[in-house]
Amino acid sequence: MKLLLINLPKNLDNRYDYDLVIQPLGLACIASFLQSKGFDTVLYDANAYHLVRSEILQYIDQIGPDMIGISVMTYQLPIVVSFLRDLKRRNSHLLVVLGGPHVSAEPQSTMECCMDVDYVVTGEGEYTMLELLTLLKQGGNLDAVKGIGYRHENNIIINPHREMIKDLNELPYADWSSLPMEKYWDVFTTRKNYARIFASRGCPYKCTFCDAPRIMGNKLRKRTPENIIGEITLLYDKYNVREFLFNDSTLNIDNKWLVSLCEEILKMGRPIIWRCNVRADRLQKDILHLMKRSGCVKVIMGIESADDAMLRSMQKGESLDDIRRGMQILKEVGMPSDHGFIIGMPGDTVESIHRSIHFAREIDASVVTFSLATPFPGTAFYEQAKQEGMVVNDWAKFDFFGIPYVPQGMTKEQLQECYRLAVKEFYLRPKYLWHRLLEMRSFTNLRINLWFAFRILQRRYRLGVLARKEVAKCFLR
């Protein structure tokens, strides 16, 4: 059986509609694992090549797989449903398996809304896909495979979840050889080539807006520093990668392990730069100094809100004082940082959002992102939103820019105006623009920042498709 794992673009009909281009890390990990077990597995990133629907369908015809696997974010579901409809018209015998964040949270409704889906995989996909492929090859009962959903007669069967992988070191490195490494970048990128890797999986925190525990569990599982260094060395030597982002939910949960990782990076003898996600209440000066020496050039820290009542409501596990202390430590160490705020969570008001905007303006030398609150399936936020009467009529709105939810006591117009104000008050200040210009470290970074600035203005002022095409052509060359 030949399996094709494919990463689809966010817009199948407009190759110029994209924000960033990052590796499909989950699919790459599953691909390498199945390849190591002897299964004929092809990984293809259609998003990196900016392909449109007809080109992707032609590629699938050329490859001739028996099964196709797709990872689905919530906002992608309508796109995936329409794509599979076209795909099955061309090849009705092709088996389809879906996985990823949305499917892990909503396996039943995913299969109900898309009759072209044969199987779904929930949670970590490596061992579940291995068992499913083995069973399809050798025969057996599908009810014995944990972590899948399937059709039986006229019913949809969702099996119990699979236990999380205990020893991450037993997994092979991701299938980097199948990815066009020179094409990847995100808002941080200053050097090519660029890669995201994971050093751990799982998160013990209970933030109401985060769906990570649904897929990766709420127990932290770590690779050994030596195992991580082996993959970094491979990427450095074979794929010319010089810049890394650790894709972990939070890298500084276990600071003792983080110290060991930084020490191993220093011993590696290969100069790299890297970034990671951190929590304010876990920051320590000595560890931040060590991180800087090992190549860390920036940390990303979610603030979410500058209102203590909102932080408690989100079950963030941090107070505004914790965040201020963390910011002071970063300043004393001289560690650059990016910060994120969420606008429109349950309990938010115009006043609490304005407090967040004001607090963001205090962070002069940092990048700040404002996201509209999105109740992703699998989160406590989603359950609360449903209890408040939220009706889902378009999953495409669940992309941080649509407005699928409005907190009680606010109107949609008020929320939109708060978001516009946040963009105007922060991004369009001369002082901020001057700081961003001073932080430019390469022509690559300049181009990326110009693209993101264009996308922000596009969303704010609804610039047309023609303008987007002209700007995007510069980035496709």
Region for residue 62 given its phi and psi (left: phi exceeds 0; alpha: psi -120 to 50; beta: otherwise): alpha
Assign 454 a pLDDT band (cuts: 50, 70, 90): low
Q: Which helix (H) or strand (E) holds 96?
A: strand 95-99
Q: Is the pLDDT of residue 386 over 70?
A: yes
What is the percentage of the chain residues whose pLDDT exceeds 70?
Answer: 89
Return the CATH superfamily for domain 185-439.
Aldolase class I (3.20.20.70)
The tens digit of pLDDT for each residue in 408-434 reads 999 999 999 999 898 887 776 676 666
pLDDT for the residue numbered 475:
45
Q: Is the pLDDT of residue 191 over 80?
A: no
Q: Is the pLDDT of residue 291 over 50?
A: yes
Higher pLDDT pick, 454 / 274: 274
Cα separation of 138 and 42, whole Å? 21
DSSP string spanning 171-197?
Answer: SPPP-GGGS-GGG-B-TT--SSSEEEE
Question: Which whole number is the average pLDDT over 464-471?
Answer: 45
Assign 448 a pLDDT band (cuts: 50, 70, 90): low
Secondary structure (3-state) at 462 = coil
Q: Is the pLDDT of residue 52 over 60?
A: yes
Q: In Å, what is the CA distance from 333 to each residue of 195, 276, 336, 424? A: 26, 16, 9, 30
Assign 193 a pLDDT band (cuts: 50, 70, 90): confident
Is residue 244 within 8 Å of 227, Cβ to Cβ? Answer: no
Is residue 148 within 8 Å of 128, Cβ to Cβ? Answer: yes
pLDDT for the residue numbered 201:
97
pLDDT for the residue numbered 439:
67
pLDDT for the residue numbered 361:
85
Question: Which whole number is the average pLDDT over 32-47?
Answer: 98
Domain 2-158 of CATH type 3.40.50.280? yes
Q: Is the pLDDT of residue 101 over 60?
A: yes
Question: Which whole number is the average pLDDT over 368-377?
Answer: 92
Going by C-alpha positions, the residue among 178, 157, 135, 130 that lies closest to residue 23 is 178
Going by C-alpha positions, the residue among 282, 287, 316, 117 that lies closest to residue 209 is 316
Secondary structure (3-state) at 252 = coil
For the packed helices 412-427 and 350-362, what is the interaxial angle rounded to 10 degrees?
A: 10
Is residue 350 within 8 Å of 311, Cβ to Cβ? Answer: no
Tokens at 313, concatenated: 């409501």
- Whole-number average pLDDT of the chain: 91
Is residue 142 within 8 Å of 148, Cβ to Cβ? Answer: yes
pLDDT for the residue numbered 465:
46
Tokens at 438, concatenated: 């001073």
pLDDT for the residue numbered 476:
46
The tens digit of pLDDT for each residue in 252-263 reads 999 999 999 999
pLDDT for the residue numbered 458:
61
Q: Is the pLDDT of residue 463 over 50?
A: no
Q: Is the pLDDT of residue 366 over 70?
A: no
Q: What are phi and psi of 6, to 5 degrees?
A: -130, 140
**Are 2-158 and 185-439 in the same CATH fold?**
no
**H-type helices in 254-369, by residue range?**
255-268, 285-293, 308-313, 320-333, 350-362
With 0-12 / 13-18 / 19 or more C-beta atoms within 10 angstroms meaning exposed / middle / buried, residue 155 is exposed
Cα separation of 244 and 367, whole Å? 18
Whether the predicted model's global pTM rises above the 0.85 cut: yes
Is residue 193 within 8 Å of 239, Cβ to Cβ? Answer: yes
Highest mean pLDDT among 173-187, 217-231, 394-408: 217-231
- 414-417 contacts at long range (C-beta below 8 A, 24 or more positions apart): 414/350, 415/343, 415/344, 415/372
Q: Is the pLDDT of residue 462 over 60?
A: no
CB atoms within 10 A of CB 459: 13
Q: Is the pLDDT of residue 187 over 80?
A: no
Higher pLDDT pick, 215 / 269: 269
Cα separation of 66 and 36, whole Å? 19
Residue with tokens 């796109």: 79
**H-type helices in 240-278, by residue range?**
255-268
Q: Where are the domains of the chain?
A: 2-158, 185-439, 440-477
Q: Is the pLDDT of residue 302 over 80?
A: yes
